[in-house]
Amino acid sequence: MLYPFIAMQQGAVDREGRLEDAATIRAERDSLAAFLVGQANLAAENRRLRGLLGMRERLPNSFVAAEVMPFQGAAAPGIFMLTVGAEDGVRPGSAIVTAQGLVGSVREVYRGYSIAGNWTNPDLRASAVSEDGETYGILAPHKRGDEQLLALTSTALHTVPKPGTVIVTSGSGATYPRGIPVGTVVDTASEASSWQRIYLVRPFVSPGEMAHVLVLGAPKEGATERDLAAAWGIRLREG
């Protein structure tokens, strides 16, 4: 007579146990997923740090390694803080790079930290040249839809760089030494005028890859490189 009731009780216990097992499995799965995400971020960070270590050996300039921190308070786009300042030898106007290429420049320097801007900042201007030495122009931020790019402006009409052409800093001006990779040409802007063409450049360094950077200083004593292109394995040609 009691068998049906015992069976129902046993079934309820079994279902409760299965639910507990499922909850445990879900918790373990979520923990594993979080761990794997953390490991992927750590692996990416390690790759960036190894790239910076390799770049340090090739640079003919002195440098200061720094970590990028979010800017506290209201700021223009592309503004961030660096964990190094005047006591580390950082100076206003110093160029900032990663193992992939140009990040931006230092704007303000304080004793233990600095304020800097990357290539997405509306105030950025950098003179640039194509790897083949044929096309010169001025780089400025440009937005195409949701994609943040750079526009190479003030270029001569007789030079037409092909898509994929590497663009580097030309060394004109006091901020960016010659030869720092910036990006590759991807398209021609629609607002080209009758006296110049405007080319869109996709930068090598995305904002998400700016966690650790190098702040460039003066050339090392005795350095023979006239520009920095060789540090990135780029062979600049004269147009």
**Interval 201-232: pLDDT, tens:** 999 998 878 888 999 987 765 544 567 888 88
**Percent of the chain's residues with pLDDT above 90:** 41
**Interval 147-193: pLDDT, tens:** 999 999 989 888 889 999 999 999 887 789 999 999 999 998 866 56
Of the candidates 173, 202, 186, the residue with the CA atom closest to the CA atom of residue 101: 202
What's the pTM value of the predicted model, to 2 decimals? 0.75
Higher pLDDT, 224 or 93: 93
Q: How far apart are CA 227 and CA 106, in angstroms?
A: 20
Tell me how far apart the 2 most distant CA atoms of the chain are, in Å. Answer: 100
Q: What is the pLDDT of residue 51?
A: 60
Instruction: Taking residues 45-59, report their average pLDDT.
Output: 62
Higher pLDDT, 14 or 102: 102
| Contact between residue 143 and residue 181 where contact means Cβ atoms under 8 Å apart | no
Q: How far apart are CA 78 and CA 160, in angstroms?
A: 30
Q: What is the pLDDT of residue 224?
A: 47
Q: How far is CA 222 from CA 180, 214, 225, 226, in A?
A: 20, 21, 9, 11
Instruction: Taking residues 81-89, report their average pLDDT.
Output: 93
Burial of 70 (0-12, 13-18, 19+ CB in 10 A): exposed
Q: DSSP secondary structure string, 136-184?
A: EEEEEEEEETTEEEEEEEEE-TT--PPTT-EEEE---SSSS-TT-EEEE
Q: How far apart are CA 204 and CA 182, in angstroms?
A: 6
